[in-house]
Structure 1
């Protein structure tokens, strides 16, 4: 029987990063993955394939709608080769997962393929088909992630009534895609298929899309996506979903309790994700699971069993790949006797639609609820020379700072490349910068980043220069 200092169950962005950091710190490390490819949901059926389709569909939309504005004329009709687009997505995924294999080999991490299940607190049985083997682990990190959630009355057939997993590998472009849920995943995939010619209707229970982000971002993104042709039905409670042949019928009630029916050829159920612990047999190790199905952990991501930890989507907090990676690093360093930390307030959230949406820190609603006195500075992207040059004029940057100390409390962006731009805000807030600090930093011209400086100026005695 092989013995390891650390065994990680799950090879997503939390698990594989934890494995690498453990190996870097000199620990004998094993990683267990039930599928025959590494990378977990993010690399295989989440972050990476969705961004590949978003980028491909964006190129197509630019070609049919905006190339002419730039003086680019293409003779003949521009057509979508959807099969090739999906094949490219698969190629990007394969390249990325192969990269994880390379990193496991480079760091001398033993990879086991099969379902990992606890026999007790220090022994894990790995089952692959008829083959079973057991390893011993002084410490174990559970990194089994999450899977798409659904509603109790919806029967997913994974053909017409689908989750994000199936939406990434359709054989055709839908005629009418009905998306249940106006969160990140539903909006991203809805935009992909809208660009490719599908009618897209988003049915959302709350009174706004991306409800966990700042209300101004919700409003701005919906305005932009409406211009692109996406239809929104807010404050609608879905009560039934049925399929007859190739037609799916969605029944909902609006805020006036009036019944509304939507018909489409595909229905994407995008109502969030839930922790995945199936087959782990954590009860054999004595690990506690919460009522919501999450692994119960303390502030050090340690379960009630001292040598077993859990990270990522399977524990409390935002279900974000980069959050899982940070937690993987943290746990590895804790096991090694170090004293790392994570400031969960400074983990950014991003929506990869176009315009992109990015946030870090507190929203205006949260500051109001907490009775925190604050200043707000906002700057529109359309006032930037760089935005006008590229034609990406939707969006804004908003900075919230403490009314007394001027410390930045939250930064919220909508616009081109804000998924990358949000890192500036994270750095500033990590070092407890004030709005004045950001306002006095030189930003290259012309760039989208100038909107951050201008928003900081606006938050500092309303000093924005270009509005």
Structure 2
């Protein structure tokens, strides 16, 4: 059994960045990745970048088939670049295979050629990400029409009729994308209300814009069975009045969330604690319950974003080579973004959350139609909402539903982290025409928060 200073299981954002950093500090690193199609991790191969590429291509009028081809070229280039980034380092070995724990610090790796290699790691970093969940609906798992988000981006042709199970953020992104490509999309969700975390005015506007684009929503439904009829999927569901309806589709996209990918690790052979949802339990420094074993990214549960995985790397880097000051609990201001049209970005408190916490606030609110750049972009849909603490003039939350929100939300985040009063954004000189200059007008005067 070979002993290695650092073993990283999984080629994701946090793990690959950590591998490069350790190697450049003269440490030996073994990176284990079960699929050659996943060099670089989930984001560049099957999630953030390919999905956003397709969303942009759809908005630009590119055909679905051409868009998929272009996406594949991009991901192939990124995958090779990421592989070379690690493989070119003298201190890094990239090993293709599936890792299984045999003890707290020992693993076996099954390679594609059938061999089993055994290693002991002085440090082990688990970075295996997450996998799609499939709800327990009769006939769904065996349906030939079923696809997850990864498969949806690799279809040989555009489905004319598409049913999406799940009306959360991922479901909405794909509904937006496929509708733009020309599919007829129906979204089924068992919740009575879509986008429950968002304020009512924002959620209603988002859903109405989807409906205006032709998306059909069925909420509060109980999907009874998935069958087949006339070479199409037959989806039978019941509404709240127990009245059953059957609709038909060329494909069914399941967008009901992702769960930590720990099942294949054989963690039962270790003292590593695992939560009921399969997530590896970690402390504030990403330590597992076994000394010198860490968990990075989606596999530990919590927000599933590549920038969270990158920040996990920063925590470990600071522990091993820095001042040991960074913590998970320090991540109090983390933005999110849903890549729909227009884009929906959020950070901090929503108005609903502020009211629930009985927090006093000033509300600044403005329609996107008041922004000159929105007119230039030919999309004046949307709304900007920012909450400010009246005692300190500091921003405590923002929801931006507007074109390019994914960019300008970062200005809000910076202001919040730097504890800048909202007047700094109000009085800033911006280039013109830009979406960001909307802050000049947005922050002129607060509105009655009871409106």
Report the TM-score when normalising by structure 2: 0.92
- Find the partner of 1:348 among 329, 335, 351: 335
Query: In structure 2, do the counterparts of structure 1 residues 245 and 157 end up closer, same or farther at CA, with 3 Å as the change threshold?
Result: farther
Per the alignment, residue 183 of structure 1 pairs with 168
Query: In structure 2, do the counterparts of structure 1 residues 349 and 158 end up closer, same or farther at CA, with 3 Å as the change threshold?
Result: farther
Instruction: Report the Cα offset of residue 134 of structure 1.
Output: 2.2
- Find the partner of 2:96 among 93, 101, 113: 113
**Do 1:239 and 1:251's aligned partners in 2 also have CA atoms closer than 8 Å?**
yes
Per the alignment, residue 435 of structure 1 pairs with 422
Aligned residues: 443
Take 1:233 and 1:288, find their aligned partners in 2: how far apart are those partners?
39
Per the alignment, residue 302 of structure 1 pairs with 287
Per the alignment, residue 70 of structure 1 pairs with none
Instruction: Report the Cα offset of residue 454 of structure 1.
Output: 2.9
Take 1:124 and 1:102, find their aligned partners in 2: how far apart are those partners?
25
Take 2:440 and 2:57, find their aligned partners in 1: how far apart are those partners?
31
Take 1:458 and 1:259, find their aligned partners in 2: how far apart are those partners?
50
**Do 2:137 and 2:223's aligned partners in 1 also have CA atoms closer than 8 Å?**
no
1:193 paired to 2:178: yes
Per the alignment, residue 385 of structure 2 pairs with 398
Instruction: Report the Cα offset of residue 294 of structure 1.
Output: 0.8
Take 2:314 and 2:109, find their aligned partners in 1: how far apart are those partners?
24
- Find the partner of 2:363 among 363, 376, 392: 376
Take 1:306 and 1:248, find their aligned partners in 2: how far apart are those partners?
50
Select between 127-136 and 104-113 the one with higher mean Cα deviation.
104-113
Instruction: Report the Cα offset of residue 2 of structure 1.
Output: 4.5
Per the alignment, residue 89 of structure 1 pairs with 71
- For residues 264-343 of structure 1, the aligned pairs below 5 Å read 264-338=249-323, 339-342=325-328, 343=330
Report the TM-score when normalising by structure 1: 0.89
Instruction: Report the Cα offset of residue 81 of structure 1.
Output: 4.6
Runs of at least 5 residues in structure 1 that lack an aligned partner in the other structure:
61-79, 463-467
Per the alignment, residue 43 of structure 2 pairs with 42
**Do 1:401 and 1:408's aligned partners in 2 also have CA atoms closer than 8 Å?**
yes
Deviation string, structure 1 residues 384-430 (Cα, Å, up to 9, x no partner): 11111121211122111123222211111111111122111111111
Take 2:218 and 2:321, find their aligned partners in 1: how far apart are those partners?
51
1:229 paired to 2:214: yes
**Do 2:260 and 2:301's aligned partners in 1 also have CA atoms closer than 8 Å?**
no
**Do 2:286 and 2:316's aligned partners in 1 also have CA atoms closer than 8 Å?**
yes
Query: In structure 2, do the counterparts of structure 1 residues 274 and 212 end up closer, same or farther at CA, with 3 Å as the change threshold?
Result: farther
Instruction: Report the Cα offset of residue 106 of structure 1.
Output: 5.0
**Do 2:363 and 2:448's aligned partners in 1 also have CA atoms closer than 8 Å?**
no
Instruction: Report the Cα offset of residue 213 of structure 1.
Output: 3.9
SS at match of 1:126: strand
- Find the partner of 2:147 among 162, 170, 176: 162
Instruction: Report the Cα offset of residue 303 of structure 1.
Output: 0.8
**Do 1:380 and 1:451's aligned partners in 2 also have CA atoms closer than 8 Å?**
no
Per the alignment, residue 27 of structure 2 pairs with 27
**Do 1:345 and 1:362's aligned partners in 2 also have CA atoms closer than 8 Å?**
no
Take 1:206 and 1:345, find their aligned partners in 2: how far apart are those partners?
28
Instruction: Report the Cα offset of residue 359 of structure 1.
Output: 0.9
- Find the partner of 2:133 among 143, 149, 157: 149
Per the alignment, residue 107 of structure 2 pairs with 124
Instruction: Report the Cα offset of residue 185 of structure 1.
Output: 1.7
SS at match of 2:8: strand
Per the alignment, residue 446 of structure 1 pairs with 433
SS at match of 1:92: helix
Select between 379-388 and 209-218 the one with higher mean Cα deviation.
209-218
**Do 1:4 and 1:137's aligned partners in 2 also have CA atoms closer than 8 Å?**
yes
Per the alignment, residue 211 of structure 1 pairs with 196
